[in-house]
Structure 1
Amino acid sequence: MNYKLDPQMQLGYTKIRVQDFSKQKAFYSKLGFTIIEETNDLVKFGVDGRTILILTTEDDVIPRPARTTGLFHFALLVPSREDFGHVIANLSNEGIQFTGAGDHIYSEAFYLNDPEGNGIEIYHDRPKSSYVIDEQGMVQTDTLPVDVQSILALHDPNRAWEGFPTGTILGHMHLNVSDLNDEVAKLYFDALGFDLKTNFRGSAWFISAGGYHHHIAMNLWNGRGIPNAPKIATGLVSFSLNISSIEELEKLTANLQKHDVSYEQVGEKVIVEDINQNEMIFEVQQLTTY
């Protein structure tokens, strides 16, 4: 039987390198995060005491060049459609500018960028029972118009705005990659044990554990064969994936060894890097439940 990644896996946090530390810190504070910890060159933002976003800076950081690999967006999942309406209405009232919205059949989402161009999605999920599955077992998706008025109508002006609601998590990561080929498939499917849930027009893969619509998306929309962004560029540094038990982590490391995939292990953390320098940190953590 082929190895499958822990079906209870959830994403933990994403770490982003920034150039203007003060401006980025102010933006994400306004967006609705709570500061959990900070130093002169690092700040941890989260909800309910759980870190979701880490901003870090270094000397000589440069803007990420156009048409390179890296972050397309990170996605913040709120627990319900009512929470979604609450967040979107309040962020609009705070003057946050959205760049778009989409009904993806399994979810509704709004999009925006931070001051340095890092993409952000805020979304809520529809029930798994609403997924549209094709004859190949793939989850169907689209980008349809969002009923904005019905979402905003859920906003209760008497509900205090205290930032992202309890239960908000990092729902998925969406990456610009250089290729979708056998090498990528061998790492993500054979070695890491993800399932392909959607092959979107041959230009994007949506993959997950446990039957979710996607925990990671990878697209070629910046072009096939694009170079990796410089290590010192703004943008994605790493992201974490929370595993439910040490036994599940041990199953993962055994499968990585079976497929001759290099990894670094630090305590109850296993770090894997793909061909586009996307660093994934698998670690044993308590999972969030709604």
Structure 2
Amino acid sequence: MKPEHGEVAEPPDAAARRSVAPVICYPVSGLPAPDLDAYRAAREGWSKVDEVIVPPREAACFEVPAGSFFRIVSVEGSQVGDLNLWAAGDLTERFFSGKTRALHGTHLSTGDRLWSSLPYLRPMATITHDTLDWYGFDAWGGSVHDVIGTRCDPYTHRLLSGGEYHHCCHSNLTRALAGRLGMALEAAEPAIHDVLNVFMCTGFTRDTGQYFMKASPVRPGDFLEFFAEIDLLGALSACPGGDCSSEHSSDEAVCHPLLVEVYRPLAPPRGWSEPPRNGYSRRHGADGA
């Protein structure tokens, strides 16, 4: 149980302290905005070049060349997915959910970008279409496609229940990456990272500030579409929580497959070029500069 608030008496200026207006930590007005019209125009005449079915309670890997599109599609029933992304050929450059959250907010939709880890810090993918963008934020503060959770994992499961469970998203992603690259599980596991929770509906409770989930609004035919800004290796887990209306890491929840589709446009979007890695010198002031 969390400690109760109010155990310490309020100071005389408590109301004044609470009334201080917030300041956005990372204003993004200086970032170049993605040209969504150009991305959308590039869909004209595109061709589907690959598709991958992600089985329920499993994960699968896929590749997307820079300048191509990919979709994560609900095909049979309400199901959430946990997404990892790496720069193809370099597992050290991976999706950075924390910085993505700091730049774009707790939940992502059309026009938001998925940023890579330090020291690279560049856009890996841009969300170009979201059939659930109508959902917004509900009365509980819940919304869809979050970057506030991590991924269900066997360590937390053991901590809370004392049991072993191997088909949680962390383990699913580990097996998928190890199988794709011919690595031992122990070598692949450190590359697994915090995810984009695709289709998952989440938020924070107002009273205790705890992370909550609720039944996903996703239905068959819904999809989240991305443009690959760099060559990508992806892994997607069809979460064992199904639509996450009840619990994580369970064989009881009804689960469904997810579909990943990769599309190649006839030509790159107008004016597009692959983003370079971050230009910081990496001197870190060690030379007194």
TM above 0.5, yes or no, is no
Ranked by relative contact order (alpha carbons within 8 Å, sequence separation 6 or more), the top structure is 2
TM-score band (shorter)? Answer: under 0.3
TM-score, length basis structure 2: 0.27
Q: Which protein has the bigger strand share?
A: 1
